[in-house]
Structure 1
Amino acid sequence: MHHIALRLALSLSLIFSMLAHAEPARVAAAADLKFVLEELTQAFEKQGGEKPSVTYGSSGAITTQISNGAPFELFVSADEDYVTKLNAGGFTKDEGVLYATGHLVIVVPKQAALEVDSELKGLQAALKAGKLQRFAIANPEHAPYGRRAVEVLKHAGIWEQIQPKLVLGENVAQAAQFATSGSTDGGIVALSLVKSPQLMNSVKYAEIPESWHSPQRQRMVLLKHSGSNAKAFYDFLQQPAARQVFSRYGFVLPGE
């Protein structure tokens, strides 16, 4: 009887193991990757992979969730410092890999009065003339692109004046929605979001010089209990076909 129970337990264990293996990989990704990863998960599936389940959010909020036991298997962060922090805490398999460097843009709806330019002269003029009402950035408390936006506004010398006008997105994708929908006068967000087919034809934007902010170095990492589907997608994201997609969305890739 004991042997039958043991064999049954082992069989159930094997079945659960196979079911777990068949589940889509649980991926947590920074919000600047919303459009690029939608494209890449479809490409991965076309190649015969199991389409991952992707949850988007600010990298800081995702890091907190992982630290509190959220069952993600792969974290694609917008800031490598979060990956370093999780690795130091024992939550990851290793230090992960740098997969891209991101860029910031100032963006407004196509018909907006606010002029966009790389040095933010139009933004400075609108602020000085009292014509700027609301301006969107991601929340710098937990969104890396929000922190970079603050650095940019300080570099432009308008941080003190623009603070009362700021509307904070929970993450950079929400900030981009605020900046491009007309609910604000514009915003500073990730280039990867305005490069999407959904936004490209309905906005005006200008890239902000890299020298105006800290490097937006983006790192991804497999988490401690990741399975084979997550590993397969992680490897896929480093292949030439995936790198081409990242490049098309405005990212600079390692080795380029």
Structure 2
Amino acid sequence: MLKALLFILLFTFGFSKAELIRVYAAADLQYALKEIAQLYEEENPQDKVELIFGSSGKGTAQIKSGAPYHIFFSADMKYVEELYKEGYVVTEPKPYAIGRLVVWVRKDSGLVPSEFPQVLLDPKVRKIAIANWEHAPYGRAAKQVLENYGVFEKVKNKLVLGENVSQTASFVYSGAADVGFIPLSLAVSSNMREVGTYWLIPADKHDALMQGYGITKVGASSQAVRRFYNFIGTPKVRQIFIKYGFVLPGEKR
């Protein structure tokens, strides 16, 4: 009897494969979502979360083309709403934050980001990193900021486009660019804080970056996907979002 019980336990837990949850997320989530996924896996060792980061526009296009992502986190709620209307996302889009944009420079650059927009015109500034506004929501917001401050035409020849905000941050972090427009969520990460400083751009200088998520059609039948989706709404996860500046109306970081 004991041997039979041990065999059943071994078969159930020893040979069962972990259920995979494949998540495509906007690149501004790279630090927060890694921490969330680690916490989830500690509490749900039977599941494995695979994270893929990129621009929201490209993620949307890939999902429409049949990419096997189970959950989609977008830096622009409009992309999730679009996929929901077209049947590619099966849960009603839910918000997780209103994104904030910052101007970031290295501490050793001698530049002062709060002296915006004049800092962009400093002779020392030869390259300005910005996400590609064709498919990156933060890039669109940054372009709006430059236009609203009346300096887009003055600095457009200095702009260096990143495929997403993660690549944009790497440009300015490495010194390949002198100034960068990046999400607050990246600016507050430990490695970025160590070498750089930032200025928070007023929220009224660009369209609101309402961000949201949902389960895709591919992930609709998976209990593991539903577990992770529900986990995102828990208070402990909310605190991780807030830690990285991902706040909703009424919340403070």
Residue of structure 2 equivalent to 1:32: 28
Post-superposition CA distance 1:153-201 (Å, at most 9, x none): 1111100111110000000010011122111101111000111122111
1:99/1:254 contact within 8 Å kept? no
Question: 1:230 is matched with which residue?
Answer: 225
CA deviation after TM superposition for structure 1 residue 110, in Å: 1.2
Count of aligned positions: 234
Q: Aligned partner of 1:233: which letter?
A: F
Deviations 1:71-102 (A, max 9, x none): 11100111001001111211011322011111
The aligned counterpart of 1:110 is: 107
Match in the other structure for 2:12:
none
- Structure 1 position 254, deviation (Å): 5.0
Cα displacement (A) at 1:48: 2.1
Name the counterpart of 1:3.
Answer: none
* 1:53 maps to which of 32, 50, 54: 50
Matched, 1:163 2:163: no
What TM-score, normalized by structure 1, do the two folds share? 0.87
After superposition, the CA RMSD in angstroms is 1.7
Q: Give the superposition deviation at 1:124.
A: 4.3
SS in 2 for 1:245: helix
CA distance in 2, matches of 1:78, 1:237: 16
Any idea what SS the aligned residue of 1:233 has? helix
User: Equivalents in 2 of 1:161, 1:220: separation in Å?
Assistant: 37
Q: Which moved more, 1:220-229 or 1:135-144?
A: 220-229
In the TM superposition, what are the counterparts of 1:197-212 in structure 2 within 5 Å?
197-212=190-205
Partners of 1:125 and 1:25 lie apart in 2 by 46
Partner residue, 1:177: 170
Quick check: 2:28–2:166 contact (8 Å CA) kept in 1?
Answer: yes
TM, length-normalised to structure 2:
0.88
Which residue, 25, 38, 42 being the options, matches 1:42?
38
SS of corresponding position for 2:191:
coil
Counterpart amino acid of 2:91?
D
> Is 1:242 matched up with 2:224?
no
**Unpaired segments ≥5 residues, structure 1:** 1-17
Q: How far did 1:224 drift?
A: 1.2
SS of alignment partner, residue 40 of structure 1 = helix
Q: Does 1:93 align with 2:94?
A: no
SS in structure 1 at match of 2:190: coil
Q: How far, CA to CA, are the matches of 2:48 and 2:248 in structure 1?
A: 24
Structure 1 distance, partners of 2:225, 2:106, is 37
- Paired residue type of 1:34: Q
Counterparts in 2 of 1:23 and 1:48: CA distance versus 1, 3 Å: closer
Structure 2 residue aligned with 1:8: none
Q: Which runs of 4+ in 1 moved over 3 A?
A: none
Task: In structure 2, give the amino acid aligned to 1:188.
Answer: F
